[in-house]
Amino acid sequence: MSDNYLPYGKQTITQADLDAVAEALQAPLLTTGPMVGAFEQAFASRVGAGEAVACSNGTAALHLASMALGLGPDDVVLAPSQSFMASANGPHYTGARIVFMDCDPDTGLVTRQTFLEALERAGGKASAAVIVHLNGEVADMAAIAAEARPSGIRLIEDACHAVGTRFAHAGGMAEVGSCQYSDMACFSLHPVKTITMGEGGMVTTNNREWADDMRIKRSHGISREPSGFINRDMAFDSDGSVNPWYHEMQAPGFNYRATDFSCALGLSQLGQLDHFIERRKALKARYDQLFDGFHPSLSVVRTRQDCDPCRHLYPVLIDFAAIGKSRRVVMAQLHELGVGTQVHYIPVHLQPYYRQLEPDLDLPGAVRYYERALSLPLYPLMQDSDADRVVDALRKVLG
């Protein structure tokens, strides 16, 4: 294996990040302190949303969003199969029944047609749908929203791959997270994502009531707002003053809080987002150029005309049968040449838990995408010459 190994993804941590975290660690509050609110405000401002709610990870973000919509056992939620399993698990944690959507086999994205097909399998009725922006490419939210809104279907964007991605809207460009066509957008700030909190998540929305609900639910369901207290005899002193220790749990919540030092890291990273976007775009452009006419058994995931993506992943689609090598062999040979790869994703409807719930479900687009997908190295610390080396290694392996 090469000494200069290129993993498929890697965090970019600068001295400014280290300084921000060190300062937060010396502050009086390590959690539920001022950095949480500061990061939320900065994130909301960046994406153009009214509210942003920080939490412990992207899965927690999807769960919080689902709870804010009031989803439960009587609800049906449409979820993508070609995604990480949290896209389905988040709403399923509420007890909602999941009906999986297929995707375009060449992009992995849910389409208007696959949305409608899933809705038909759900009996023509659903309470919500989770639409994933796979790899950082945007699904056609305008077309999907045009079908969902007249039926009262709430839309949650799984934007865990899409920090920094923009799309055409109202004659200009809007940023994913502004919720132009959705009710909420959920982000992951895991180390391999475009910006990181170490582990972290964020939900954006333009609905203050939902944001307040998520802030309560992320901390055990505890409310400290005196105007909403139910047990008023316990909450207030005889002179009407609020008892400073008092709090209420009016509905159960979870420990999905984000720490101040993780939010300090996130805030510092957010300040470098434009640089990270620039490098990811440059690397994508380099790959696109090198793969133009590269090999008859390899294709790339194309970008929709109305999308300006910041790619989290750079997958190629390989016909492994045509080259006479299994994906495992290709990955092993690339590894020996110093190139790390990964597969995103095994269709969620094929995971044993969900398959036993619907054993005969056939989603050919998700399966076809999965059978060919291989994610190549993509992260800001890479140089253009690193992309060249990845492509040279692929050339040797594919023959």
CB burial readout 47-84, b (16+ within 10 A) else e = bbbebbbbbbbbbbbbbbbbbbbebeeebbbbbbbbbb
Q: What is the DSSP code string of 134-156? A: GGGPPP-HHHHHHHHGGGT-EEE
Collect all residues with Cβ–Cβ distance below 8 Å to 108 and sequence separation of at least 6: 82, 134, 135, 301, 315, 366, 369, 373
166 neighbors 280 (Cβ within 8 angstroms): no
Q: What's the half-sphere exposure (Cβ side, CA atoms, 13 Å) at 298?
A: 22
Strand partners, 169: 172
How does 338-374 read in b/e, with b if 16+ C-beta sit within 10 Å?
Answer: bbbbbbbbbbbbeeeebeeeeeebebebbbbbbbbbb
Token pair 């105007």 is found at: 227
Active site residues: 193
Which residues make beta-bridge pairs with 40? none
Length of the chain: 399
The helix (run of H) or strand (run of E) holding residue 357 is helix 352-357
- Nearest-angstrom CA–CA distance, 200 and 32: 14
Q: What does the alpha-carbon distance between residue 153 and residue 156 come to, in Å, rounded to a whole number?
A: 10
